[in-house]
Structure 1
Amino acid sequence: MCIVLLSTSHPKYALVVADNRDEYILRPTSRPHWWKAIPEIPATNGSANGSVKAAPPVEVEVLSSRDLQRAEQGTWLGITKGGNFAVLTNYRETDTHDAAHPVHGKRSRGGMVTAWLGADPAESTEQFVHRMLKDGGVKGVGGFSLICGKLRKARDDSNNIEPLAIISNRCDHVGHVPWICGERNSVQGLSNATYLHPEQEDKETKLWPKIREGREALIRVVNEKSDERELQDALFATLDADKFPSNHTMDLEEGIPLLKDSVFIPAFGGKAHQEEMEQARKRGLVKQTEQRDSPAAEALTIVARPDDQPNGFQTGLYGTQRQTIILVDWDGNVTYTERALWDAHGNPIPRGSGDETFRFKIEGWENKQDEQLCN
C-alpha cells in the first residue's frame, strides 16, 4: 500500500515530498519523463451564439512516469512546469459488493492525477476541487485520495506556500475537503485509508503504524539534514524502512492486512505469483539476448503490455515498485528524483542504478495575483 509523506518544516525547502508506489512489480510503467497535455477548453469564447472561436489550447508540460496498463496512461504522482502538483494513493476497499465504491473502477485512478496535471493553467485548485466533486465527478473510480494543488508562495507574503487539497471519493462535498501544507512546520502522511488531520487522530488506535512511523522519521530528517544529497539519502532511507514479515512467499490475501505496518513493502506473493515472476524473468532474458545493448534499468521505457484483466492488474509479486523524492526550495526550484527498484521483467535494480533526476524552476512561483475562487 502506497505512502506519501509531506513536510513544510525544512529551513531550505518550502515543500519536501517522499513517496512509495506499492504495486504489482510487473505492472507496465514508463520511466519519468516530460510529456505534453492539452487542457480541455470550451468550444467558444465570449459569445452567446458561439460565433467566436476559442483560443487554441496551450500545451501543459508535465513531468511524471505513466501507467502503461490502462488506456488513460495516468500516473500516481507528477508536477507541471507551472507548479500543478498531484499525488494519489488508493483507498483500501474491503467491501467487494459496494457498487458506489468499486475495488476496480471503470475509470482509472491515475486519470484523476492527470486531470489536474493537464488542467487549464488558469484553473485554481479551488475551481478544480469543485469541478471534480460536481455531479458525482469522481464516481466510477476505484477508491482513492488525491493530494493536489499549485505550488506557489503564499499570496499574503507569509513564509508559507499555497495549501494543497485532498480530494477523495469518500468526500462528496467541497466543504469536507481537507486542506494541508499551507502553514510552516506541517508534517503530513497519507496511505490507503481516509485522511485524518493529525489533531483528530488517536495515534495508538486510528493511525496506521506506517504513517505514524513515517511522519516521525520525516520530522527527524528535515530537522537534521540540510545538504541536498544527505537529505535525499535520508529520505530514501525513510522510504526503505521495512517492518514486513520475513516470509515473502505468503499469499497476497494473508499479506494485505500487514501492509499498514511497514513503510517499505518487499516483493511478496504465493506460489502462483512467484511462478509468474519467474516466467517474466525468462521472457526478459530472451529479449535481452535479442537486444544485447538494452540494460535492465532502461527496459522500463519500452514495455507496454495492456493486459485485459477485469479486476485490475494482478500478475506477479506485489511490493514497493517506485520511490520518489521531490524538493521545492524557496525560489521555486524543483529537484525531482524517482528511483526504480525493478525492471520491466521483474529483475531487481540495485539501489541508485534506476534513479532519474530532473531539475527545473516553477513558472509563476512568485505570482502574487489572487486566483479567482469559484462560486
Structure 2
Amino acid sequence: MCLIVFDWRPDARHGHRLLVAANRDEFHHRDTRPLQFWPGREHILGGIDDGARSEDGLPGTWMGVTRGGRFAALTNYRAPRDVNPSASSRGRLVSEFLASDLPPAEYLLDVQSRSRRYNGFNLLVGSTLGPDPQLWWHSNRSGQAPLRLKAGLYGLSNALLDTPWPKVRNAVGSMLYALAASSERTVLFRLLGDDRQAPDDELPRTGVTLARERLLSSVFIRSDDYGTRSSQVLDIGASGRIDYIERSFLPDLGPGVFQERQLEVGAPVAAAGRRADERGSAG
C-alpha cells in the first residue's frame, strides 16, 4: 500500500467508526489475488499478495479486516539506500495481526522487538468494534514506541504518519469533502483516481531519481511496469456492519478499466467488471 487516508471515530454511536480510502501501488508482474474471504481463514477479508507467502501458508496482504472488526494496513517506508533484499516480508505483519487475537498494543510491541528484520514500514492495527475501540500506528523508522491514535482524519504514504507530501495533502483535503458529501463513495474513488503529479518544487527527496519522484507523487500512479494496482474503500460502521470495496486495475487493457468487488461481512460476494467514465475511477 502506498497511500492511506482514514477517518477514525472511536466514540461514534452512528455512522462509521473507521472509514478508509487507500491505493495499493505495485509492480504489474507481482502475483496478486483480489479481495476475498481467505480460504481456511474465512473470518479474514482482504486481498492476497502471493509474492509474500510463507511456509506456514499464511499469505501476505496490504490491508484487511476480520468479521469481528480487527483491521490492519501497511505502507512501505521509501528509503532505497536502506533496502535489504533479504529482509522478511512486510506483508506478513498485516496477516499475522488479522489471524491472531492479541490486543493491538501487545502485537505492536512484539513487532517492535523484531522490527530490524524488515525494511521500512508503517503499520496500522486496530480493534475497531467492541467496548474499547482502538487504532494504533507504528513505524520501524520513527524511533518511537507504538502510538494509539485519537479520533481524527489522518494521511499516510511512504513516509511517517501525516508527513505532508503533496499526494497526502490532496487526498486528506478530498476526504474532508467526501465526508460532507451525500455520495461519499463516489468522491472517495474519485480522489483515489487523481493522477496529477506534483510540481518539482513540492516533491520530497527520498533517494530516487527526480523522474521517479514525479511519477510517485500522484495519488494514482501509471507507468509501464509499476503503478496503482487497486483502490480500496473500507467502511466499518458503529453498528458492526463492514463494507469493503476493491477496484482492481488492468493495465494491459488500458486506462479506466477495472474489476470491482464489493463485499459485506456476512453477505455473499458481488463481483462485476466495469469501464469507468474517468481514467482510473468511476465518477
Fold similarity call, TM over 0.5: yes
Where does 1:79-228 land on structure 2 (aligned, <5 Å)?
A: 79-96=65-82, 102-119=83-100, 121=101, 123-134=102-113, 137-155=114-132, 162-171=133-142, 176-180=145-149, 182-183=150-151, 186-196=152-162, 207-225=164-182
**Structure (1 or 2) with the greater strand fraction:** 2
TM-score of the superposition, structure 2-length normalised? 0.80
Percent of aligned pairs with the same residue?
26
State the shift of 1:140 in Å: 1.9
C-alpha contact (below 8 Å) 1:116/1:128 kept by paired residues: yes
Partner of 2:214: 258
How far apart, CA to CA, are the structure 1 residues paired with 2:86 and 2:62?
Answer: 16
TM-score of the superposition, structure 1-length normalised? 0.61
Q: Which amino acid aligns with 1:23?
A: E
C-alpha contact (below 8 Å) 1:88/1:147 kept by paired residues: yes
Where does 1:1-375 land on structure 2 (aligned, <5 Å)?
A: 2-8=2-8, 12-35=15-38, 61-72=43-54, 73-96=59-82, 102-119=83-100, 121=101, 123-134=102-113, 137-155=114-132, 162-171=133-142, 176-180=145-149, 182-183=150-151, 186-196=152-162, 207-225=164-182, 230-244=183-197, 253-259=209-215, 261-266=217-222, 268=223, 274=224, 317-342=225-250, 346-348=252-254, 350-351=256-257, 353-360=258-265
How far apart, CA to CA, are the structure 1 residues paired with 2:211 and 2:30?
Answer: 19
Deviations 1:46-68 (A, max 9, x none): xxxxxxxxxxxxx6721111111
Query: Partner of 2:96: helix, strand, or coil?
Result: helix
State the shift of 1:194 in Å: 1.6
How far apart, CA to CA, are the structure 2 residues paired with 1:69 and 1:349?
Answer: 25
Partner of 1:307: none
C-alpha contact (below 8 Å) 1:2/1:191 kept by paired residues: yes
Deviations 1:322-345 (A, max 9, x none): 1000012220101100000116xx
How far apart, CA to CA, are the structure 2 residues paired with 1:259 and 1:35?
Answer: 33
How far apart, CA to CA, are the structure 1 residues paired with 2:84 and 2:180?
Answer: 39
Deviations 1:302-351 (A, max 9, x none): xxxxxxxxxxxxxxx111111000012220101100000116xx334744
Q: Which runs of 5+ in 2 are unaligned?
A: 199-207, 267-283
Q: Which amino acid aligns with 1:360?
A: V
C-alpha contact (below 8 Å) 2:105/2:146 kept by paired residues: no
CA 33–329 in structure 1, closer or farther in 2 if over 3 Å, else same: same
Q: Which has the higher contact order (CA 8 A, sep 6+)?
A: 1
State the shift of 1:259 in Å: 4.5
How far apart, CA to CA, are the structure 2 residues paired with 1:94 and 1:26?
Answer: 20
How far apart, CA to CA, are the structure 1 residues paired with 2:78 and 2:15?
Answer: 35
Q: Which runs of 5+ in 1 are unaligned?
A: 38-58, 97-101, 156-161, 197-205, 246-251, 269-273, 275-316, 362-375
State the shift of 1:141 in Å: 1.2
Q: Which amino acid aligns with 1:26?
A: H
CA RMSD of aligned residues (A): 2.6
Query: Partner of 1:192: helix, strand, or coil?
Result: coil
State the shift of 1:154 in Å: 4.8
Q: Which amino acid aligns with 1:84?
A: R
How far apart, CA to CA, are the structure 2 residues paired with 1:103 and 1:20?
Answer: 24
State the shift of 1:214 in Å: 0.7
How far apart, CA to CA, are the structure 2 residues paired with 1:78 and 1:111?
Answer: 12
How far apart, CA to CA, are the structure 1 residues paired with 2:31 and 2:255?
Answer: 15
Q: Which amino acid aligns with 2:185?
A: Q
C-alpha contact (below 8 Å) 1:60/1:118 kept by paired residues: no
Larger-gyration structure (1/2) = 1
State the shift of 1:95 in Å: 2.1
C-alpha contact (below 8 Å) 2:154/2:161 kept by paired residues: no
Range moving further from structure 2, 28-37 or 78-87: 28-37
How far apart, CA to CA, are the structure 1 residues paired with 2:92 and 2:115?
Answer: 10
How far apart, CA to CA, are the structure 1 residues paired with 2:52 and 2:15?
Answer: 38
State the shift of 1:153 in Å: 4.7
